[in-house]
Structure 1
């Protein structure tokens, strides 16, 4: 997506618009108070987070690369504001989405490197013994900003102990993104909510030379998101409520047989797609329906040459299929502080600072809600009503599905996601390398490597 966003005007425009809001923030060196937040975000008056940054502290932070330009521009500006206020130098490095997990593993195994890793969803649970407990930060922010969303609690807190291992920074869902004209041409007014109707739509679109496309490569967000939707919409799951591996089930095999019917509607090349791939294909009008976050619409809306495509683009939740509700979860940026840091207080203060309204709302506004808020007070942000096509994303962090559904989030669930077990199961069936039955058995075998007692 970076090649798309570089040529857009809105990225710079949004940054400029955000500058006045940033300037209205708390003055350096003062404690947070009860002044009206940017955008009218409600917040309570609570004691400041205890623990001033250590003398001589400096911080290094790594986080996923941006898909929309203001995500990086405003994030860097906010980091600079923290540096100016606390006199703590901060270095922020943006890392490719597929590279964050390998780099996190190196940090954890060597006990050196960044003080703060803003990784993915259940990553802090993989390294539970190596990260700093974050309950004080969670309590402060939760009390100040109306509590945490359901996925924030799920990904932030350790199962059984309730300890906060990470602080979710924001989440991104991938609803249906589709061209209204192409769907109408295929004989539908909107994207059907049932499997049969969705299949008919996709095949009709392919017949009209306007195919669909879903990532079947090792894509952190889009690959895992499609595989999870496929299973959950058939009432299949990786594990059951007790965490026992359940992926080799009649429901999974039914889901994979459905994929065999759906795959012919895909554009070529999806077996190797990573997270930027469907964005590029949609913007190039090579596909006309996919699952994606705000970044795709942002890029289209930002480019005057793509104005007609942006106007024709709609968002709806992914089809329910046999599920009770639209079965999707969020790709969550989850901040963790590793125990090797010499400056844990500074690291905690940095994370809390970045989630304060003076910093957070301008960042979210400029990115059109690309990373949706983890704290419920931000439901009041005007970004969600600034464009009706964005409103759907407001409830991102309230989803009732999660990585490793239906079981607890754990080291095992994180490892299965990082190893792309479900994605590769789907890819094997779509490519014809395995039957649904064989692919489900292989996924079960691989999952049991991590869920050793299940």
Structure 2
């Protein structure tokens, strides 16, 4: 793998197993005592600020306390806005100091592979104990068969929508193709209830929407060889033309400046009728039924459903949201960090966190497909299979460093944003093709 130069990295970002002593982590957990060698160790874990507040509260409270008691490790948990994570990663790598373990989203680990420690022993141990990993989790956590991270979870986005509002617009079910989606959206926007989507530089919802939209028309970045750039195609140009009309007729046009929180707020304040999102909108509305109500005064969560992004001529897709714990090579706490990762990923501990997510994300291993959380609320059930269906950025090639660079630069998102702002479709496709080619030529 080509090492990313310091200047370039800044630009695109914006040892042994625990079983070797004290009978391994199983013995630690069974005895309830911290191993002598782990005493007074501190592990710094950097994550996003979760869209499910209960999960952050759990990690910062009960889990942090349990970690000290079970392993002797003092957990320093830090959370930041997800859009700030990459700049923190870059800064840590360049300075050689920072968090020991950092959350990676999508195929970010591919960007930093040279700066990540070998995590094979931990990743393989967890995968073996929990039924193996989803393929999408393995793809982003490995380079050339080498584990560069430990898969944490895998989820994705569905469209949250107001069931009653769509019914009033003549849609008894969510529109399943782009033409009907556009037609229903046009009616809704005329009533002041547009669809809402971001076309801005934000880590999750923007790529999650526009990549899937591109694929549904038959567009793609590269061929399966992972080298031949084919973005500037008839399918891509047609998708851009339709997107411009769709945006003007059916969308909240302020979405050009939205991040991953703006659409949540817009939905909960009843200014949009549907948006691609994780389950956080529904979870928040359900958590505060007296705060978020419909125009009729009823709890809003009772009027929210989830649906897949509409299909196009080439099919219907989702972009799985994959999270990976990256063990940083510069860390001087490699042993303690691995002990921590074994513990936090173990079934009893991970179960506490997974339950708190309420179905917002799936586990990284197949073990969690049969969890009781999936039977608790039928509105959340559609998220269950997202890691099994869909494509990763970089299709039809692998989700490697080059694909990660393209998504980090928001090239696909900007292709549509430029057209929405007035650039002819053909020029937008040509511009984006050239930018993707630069990344793949490096």
Match of 1:409 among 396, 399, 415: 399
Alpha-carbon distance between aligned partners in 2 of 1:55 and 1:91, rounded to the nearest angstrom: 15
Residues 34-53 of structure 1: matches in 2 within 5 Å? none
Q: Distance in 1 between matches of 2:54 and 2:332?
A: 31
Q: Which residue in 2 is equivalent to 1:30? A: 27
Q: Could you say which residue in structure 2 is the equivalent of 1:337?
A: 327
If the length of structure 1 is used for normalisation, what is the TM-score?
Answer: 0.85
Residue in 1 that maps onto 2:7: none
- 2:245 is matched with 261
Partner of 2:90: 105
Gaps of 5+ in 1: 1-27, 34-50
2:385 maps to what in 1? 395
Indicate conservation of the 8 Å contact 2:39/2:72, yes or no: no
1:27-106, aligned counterparts within 5 Å? 30-31=27-28, 56-76=40-60, 77-106=62-91
Please report the TM-score for the alignment, with normalisation by the length of structure 2. Answer: 0.88
CA separation in 2, counterparts of 1:203 and 1:302?
Answer: 31
- 1:421 lines up with 2:421 in the alignment: no
Deviation at 1:373, TM superposition (A): 0.9
Alignment match of 1:189 (pick from 172, 185, 204): 172
1:127 aligns with 2:118: no
**Farther off after superposition, 355-364 or 141-150:** 355-364
Question: Structure 1 residue 351 and structure 2 residue 336: aligned?
Answer: no
CA contact (8 A) 1:238 1:404 kept: yes
1:252-286 CA-partner distances (Å, limit 9, x unpaired)? 11111110121021114100000001000000000
Q: Is 1:226 paired with 2:209?
A: yes
Q: Does structure 1 residue 179 correspond to structure 2 residue 168?
A: no
Summarize the Cα distance change of 1:213–1:74 in structure 2 as closer, same or farther, 3 Å threshold: same
In 1, Cα distance between equivalents of 2:26 and 2:321: 34
Whole-Å separation in 1 of the counterparts to 2:282 and 2:204:
16
Distance 2:338 2:236 in 1: 42
**Who is 2:420 aligned against?**
430
Deviation at 1:185, TM superposition (A): 1.1
TM-superposed CA distance for 1:333, in Å, is 2.0
SS in 1 for 2:244: helix
Is the aligned partner of 1:296 residue 2:281? yes
Q: Contact 2:160–2:277 (CA<8 Å) still a contact in 1? A: yes
SS in 2 for 1:92: strand
Give, in whole Å, the separation in 2 of the partners of 1:292 and 1:113.
31
Within the candidate set 251, 266, 269, 1:281 is matched to: 266
What is the match of residue 7 of structure 1? none
In 2: Cα distance, 1:53 partner to 1:127 partner: 30
Residue 375 of structure 1 is matched in structure 2 by: 365
Query: What does residue 10 of structure 1 align with?
Result: none
Deviations 1:95-150 (A, max 9, x none): 11110011111112222111111121211111111111111112111111111012
Q: Which residue of 2 aligns with 1:210?
A: 193
1:446 and 2:435 aligned: yes
Contact between 1:151 and 1:400, CA under 8 Å: does it hold in 2? Answer: no
Tell me if 1:239 matches 2:222: yes
C-alpha deviation, 1:29, in angstroms: 7.9
Equivalent residue for 2:313, pick from 293, 301, 322 = 322
- Give me the whole-angstrom Cα distance separating, in 1, the residues matched to 2:247 and 2:42: 50
Moved more, 281-290 or 126-135: 126-135
Q: How many residues align?
A: 405
**Deviation for aligned residue 1:367:** 2.2
The CA RMSD measured in Å over matched residues stands at 1.9
Secondary structure of 2:161's aligned partner: strand
